[in-house]
Chains A and B, each alone.
Chain A
Amino acid sequence: MKESYRLADENELIKASLEGNASAFEEIVSRYRRLVARTVKGMLGDSVYAEDIGQEVFIKLYYSLPEFRGEAKLSTYIQRIAVNLTLNEIKRRKRFFSMFSQKGNDEIYEYEIPDHGGPEKEEAKELVNKALMSIDPKFRIVVVMRMLQGYSTKETAEILNLPLGTVLSRLSRAQEQLRKILKAL
């Protein structure tokens, strides 16, 4: 019979996961899947690749749990893994596609608008997706952290391991790009 960890606290879940308990780790996945989805899908678009990267994030988390010292929150730790894997994927795709075409990486991603919500809700999501995909990934990640995850500039700087000044200048550049893009949409 599967042990229920629905009410368990984070430390309990980590301890049980380290002992190889699948149910405990599944509870961690349940709790943080949306957090990861916002970063991964916000950066890569609503595509099948995003789903794969999402899985990779949790697989990497599972194998790096023994190194988790609890100095940062588990959510921050997961967020860092998600950011790193997503940025690596963008670089990998950019390299791969640059071998075959001169086009930028903006054309790489396929949009799959999920079939839920009314037409207005779909439009809103499509607009956010298009706006995000139209800006440079190094600006996009900062916007995703703020717009979709709700992090402050300080938290964004900590997660991305960037100086606060860099985050602020990227935000300003991102805002400039977004203004131009959204005017055309």
Chain B
Amino acid sequence: MDLTDIKSIIIASASEQADTDEIPRRLEDQGVSFDFSSDFNEKVIERIFKEKFTVIRESDFGKNLSKVFYRIALTGVAAIVLLLLSIFLTEGSISFNSFLGMGSIYDESVFYLLTGI
């Protein structure tokens, strides 16, 4: 069978009346066959089962991360409350000046400290 015959088969395959059982067989006889590489099956299986383990590991990591986050967040909130309490006890209020440690310093003293006049 030469290339002209192959061309005829290709054109005929797009015809409504084409014998669709016969065409693939005739083409295959002429070497027109399609397949994947020899290690295709192994690659597919490896990807599926490797991905499965990755998903499990990822979900474990996610769970652990959220646990750690809650612990850190709780510790942080506790530390802030203690800080505010200690500021209130030492300075008598929790104003902005108290935060900066300047609750009991007069404006004149600050001016003197900064300019020396």
Contact = CB atoms under 8 A, between A and B. Distances in A.
Contact of A178 (B11, B21, B41, B47): B11
A37 B34 CA distance: 6
B84 interface: no
B111 interface: no
B43 A117 contact: no
Nearest to B10: A131
A41 B18 CA distance: 22
Contact of A34 (B6, B10, B34): B34
**Interface class of chain A by DSSP:** helix
Contact of A55 (B6, B35, B44, B49): B44
A42 B34 contact: yes
A148 interface: yes
Interface residues of B, number: 34
Given A127-B7, A178-B11, A179-B11, A55 B40 contact: yes
B23 interface: yes
Contacts of A171: 14-16
B30 interface: yes
Interface of A: 22, 25-26, 29-30, 33-34, 36-38, 41-42, 46, 51, 54-55, 58-59, 62, 116-118, 120-125, 127-128, 131, 142-143, 146-153, 168, 171-172, 174-175, 178-179, 182, 185
27 contacts: A26-B41, A26-B45, A29-B41, A34-B34, A37-B35, A38-B24, A51-B36, A59-B51, A116-B31, A120-B31, A121-B30, A122-B31, A124-B6, A125-B32, A128-B6, A128-B32, A143-B14, A147-B14, A147-B27, A148-B27, A148-B34, A150-B20, A171-B16, A172-B16, A174-B14, A178-B10, A185-B7
